[in-house]
Chain A
C-alpha cells in the first residue's frame, strides 16, 4: 500500500523567511509520480509540480524549489523569501501508474506567513 506523510501540521513564519515543507512517501512500486498542490483559502487546489520517479533532478521555479531524494523517499518543497500570499495549505501527493488515476494525498501542511 502507498502512503504519504507530511509530519508538519502547521508552520508559521515571518515574511522573507525561507521555509521547507517535508514530504515522505512509501511505495513498493518503482514507477510513480509525485505532486505538490497549494490550497489557498478560496478552496481550489493549485498544481505546483509533478515529478516522476526516474527524474531525481531538483527543480527551481522562481521562489519555489523541490528536492527529490529516492534514497530517503522524500520530496521536500522550499519557499525562499516567503510572502503573505504563500499562506495556504500545501499537499504532497503520490500517484502510482496503473492505479487508474488515483492520487494518494498527504494530510497537508498549513503555512502561515505573517508580516
Chain B
C-alpha cells in the first residue's frame, strides 16, 4: 500500500466547476510535489512545496492553485479548467534534501467535460 494517499481517485468536472484534489502523507516528509501526467507521457512537474512553502511553480496556469496547510497535507484547487487539463494528477513526497527518492501516490484521474 502506498504511504501517500490521494483523494478522490477519480473526478469528473465541468469547466465552470470548482473542485479540489487532496494528498496526505504521514511519513514526516517535508517536501511535497504535484505532477501532471497525460496518457502515454511521463509525469510533468507542476509545483513543489518545501517546509510548507511553495518553492517551485513550473509556470502552471492560475486555474490550478496549490495549497499546503501543514506538513502532511497538500491540496490542488481546480477552477475553470479546460478539457485539455484532463490527466492523472500525481502527488509525491520526499523526506528532505534534494536527492532522495520520491514517494508517489496512486494519483487522481481528472476528466474535464
Contacts and interface: CB of A to CB of B under 8 A. Distances in A.
Interface of A: 33, 35, 37, 42-47, 50, 52, 91, 95, 97-103, 105-108
B101 A102 contact: no
A91 B100 CA distance: 16
B2 A44 contact: yes
A contacts with B: majority SS: loop
Given A44-B105, A100-B56, A95 B99 contact: yes
Interface of B: 2, 31, 33, 40-43, 45, 48, 50, 55-56, 88, 90, 92, 94, 98-107, 109
Contact of A45 (B40, B43, B94, B98): B43
Contacts of B109: 43
Nearest to A91: B42
Contact of B103 (A42, A47, A101, A103): A47
Given A91-B42, A108-B42, A100 B55 contact: yes
Given A50-B101, A97-B98, A105 B42 contact: yes
- In this complex, the member of A42, A46, A98, A105 whose beta carbon has the largest number of chain B beta carbons within 10 angstroms is A105
Nearest to B45: A102
A44 B98 contact: no
Contacts of A44: 2, 90, 104-107
B55 to A, nearest CB: 6
A67 B103 CA distance: 23
21 contacts: A42-B106, A43-B88, A43-B90, A43-B107, A43-B109, A44-B90, A45-B43, A45-B90, A47-B103, A50-B99, A50-B100, A91-B43, A95-B98, A97-B98, A98-B98, A100-B55, A100-B56, A101-B48, A101-B50, A106-B42, A108-B41
